[in-house]
Homo-oligomer: A and B are copies of this chain.
């Protein structure tokens, strides 16, 4: 095999597929990136058997072939082989998979492996699909992924529900303490779809997506897999099996107190209060709403913080406690300047949502000792 690339193009391609290369694995071939130039195009592939990424890289094929190269070494060498982004990098391998990477005055020799040993991406039937902009998909993922459960004790909580109904995509994540919901109107009407996508896959996809509003992503669905196609890249991932939680019964539009508040001020105040909390310290943030003012209070072994914020209130006064992290996560995800909170009582979930319900963040309150406030 003998190939020639522009350094930048090669580095970009490697960075994309690197996201599917496992850092630890018992199958050492998976620590490699496959360079496949057996056809008319040059494709790079990374695959950890759950998640696979393939991307096409512009380059010159002087001699067809394929080779698997240690991902870390290959990435480091191409990234640092020259300080010029337009430098020409050539890669050549012989029948024993000895590989030479050349650029300017430097020559690297590393031992590659037979490309045939590499695990190919599964084949996905491309009939069921939806189409949306890269910008929207990236945003939807970033605005929901924080509330998946970080541990695997409940597999379903480590993924997100993707549900398509006519021309609407609804994305849901939850971890037992909170639920995040984003709804997106699609340009076309599609078949019904309801799948659970691993959070890891979505995290990697959101990193690769350019976030361009003009560029599209096609998402294909099969019985066990999801496939994202955009730019020169495809990402294939297994789905999580099982039936997702029924969230409709947890949602309610009743409320006793509705407040409007400036998002940035609210977020800044809560972030400030967390100075007094160390990790694993479960001190609640207590919110006391009276007339048109909100008092925030946090007590910990380090000290206390008090802050007052102006709000606009409808309904009853209320005193309610929250895990400040959950409020922070939701507020950071919201783009609006002014937000609405809906509350029933200090034991019932609080909803942060916009009027059209494009986003809904449900957060369970926490108990606090009213006597200590």
Q: Which residues of A contact B (CB under 8 A)?
A: 70, 73, 76-77, 80-81, 83, 105-111, 268-269, 271-272, 275-276, 302-309
Q: Is the CB of B275 within 8 A of A305?
A: no
Question: Inside 8 A of A308's CB, which chain B residues have their CB?
Answer: 105
Question: Inside 8 A of A108's CB, which chain B residues have their CB?
Answer: 275-276, 303-305
Question: Inside 8 A of A275's CB, which chain B residues have their CB?
Answer: 73, 76-77, 80, 108
**With A and B bound together, what is the CA distance between A111 and B276 in angstroms?**
12
Question: Inside 8 A of A306's CB, which chain B residues have their CB?
Answer: 106-107, 109
Residue from A76, A81, A108, A306 having most chain B Cβ neighbours under 10 A: A108
**With A and B bound together, what is the CA distance between A333 and B309 in angstroms?**
52
**With A and B bound together, what is the CA distance between A107 and B309 in angstroms?**
12
Q: Is the CB of A307 within 8 A of B73?
A: no
Cβ contacts A to B, 21 pairs, < 8 Å:
A73-B276, A73-B303, A76-B275, A77-B275, A105-B269, A105-B307, A105-B308, A105-B309, A106-B305, A106-B306, A107-B305, A107-B306, A108-B303, A108-B304, A109-B303, A109-B304, A109-B305, A109-B306, A110-B302, A110-B303, A111-B303
**With A and B bound together, what is the CA distance between A76 and B276 in angstroms?**
9
Question: A210 → chain B, closest Cβ, in Å?
Answer: 28
| Count of this chain's copies in the oligomeric assembly | 2
> Which of chain B's residues has its CB closest to A107's CB?
B306
Question: Inside 8 A of A80's CB, which chain B residues have their CB?
Answer: 271-272, 275
Question: Inside 8 A of A302's CB, which chain B residues have their CB?
Answer: 70, 73, 110
**With A and B bound together, what is the CA distance between A342 and B269 in angstroms?**
61
**With A and B bound together, what is the CA distance between A302 and B106 in angstroms?**
16
Q: Pick the 8 closest A-B CB pairs, nearest first.
A: A110-B303, A106-B307, A76-B275, A109-B304, A107-B306, A108-B305, A109-B303, A105-B307
A sample of 17 more A-B contacts (CB under 8 A), given A109-B304, A109-B305, is A70-B302, A73-B276, A77-B272, A80-B271, A80-B272, A81-B272, A105-B307, A105-B309, A106-B269, A106-B306, A107-B306, A107-B307, A108-B275, A108-B276, A108-B303, A109-B306, A110-B302
Question: A102 → chain B, closest Cβ, in Å?
Answer: 10
> Which of chain B's residues has its CB closest to A301's CB?
B111
Question: Inside 8 A of A70's CB, which chain B residues have their CB?
Answer: 302
**With A and B bound together, what is the CA distance between A77 and B277 in angstroms?**
12
> Which of chain B's residues has its CB closest to A268's CB?
B83
